[in-house]
Amino acid sequence: MMTSFKKILLGFVLALAGVAAVSANPALAGRWRLDPAQSTALDGWSTLDLVVSLDGSKVALRHELTWGATKATETNTLDTAAPVDAAKYFRIEARHMAVYPAKGGVTHATATWIDSGKTLRIEATTPVEVSQGIVPIRLYSEYRVSELGDVLTVIELRSSRNRPLVYVFKKVPAEAAK
């Protein structure tokens, strides 16, 4: 027989689990194609698809990039329930800016849903190699889906730049993504 305290505690835990389950924006999931005309320069790459997968509190951001015959696929997997430490953390502009991850460096990142679950916010600190040595860069990113669910805007602020990077993606219909 369950005591009143245990019933209350169980109800609270179930309520929290329910809040976590509905906090992710399902419209974010899927394949998104960069619209270069509306985005920050992507020099060094000619195309970029962003594939977003949601699995409970986990969010996977897979970047599929091309430049001529060169193809690259990099994935950042985050968890909205707990911070993550990633040995490989991909930044879209790394090749354009020629600022690469530090060898052996670890990126500390947190992801949370804000704006009543409509926007994914990511805060990360990543070590990079520059001519002066290894320095940490703070990154703040928001992934915002339009009201119609057909446009994704990624806004990224960083401690090393005065201007934000803005990437605008169009949703690729499921049948076209295959």
Write down the CATH number for the domain with range 4-171.
2.40.128.20
Letter string b/e over residues 32-62, b meaning 16 or more CB atoms within 10 A of that residue's CB: bbbeeeebbebeebeebbbbbebeebebebb
What is the tens place of the pLDDT at every residue in 109-165?
999 999 999 999 999 999 998 888 899 999 999 999 999 999 999 999 999 888 999
Look up the pTM and report it.
0.82
Q: What are the structural domain ranges in the chain?
A: 4-171
Coil vs helix vs strand at 142: strand
Instruction: Fill in the DSSP letter of residue 150.
Output: S
Q: What is the pLDDT of residues 60-110, one digit of tens each?
A: 999 999 989 999 999 999 999 999 999 989 887 765 566 777 889 999 999
- With the C-alpha atoms ordered 92, 95, 99, 103, is the resulting torsion angle positive or negative? positive
Which two tokens mark 13?
């835990």
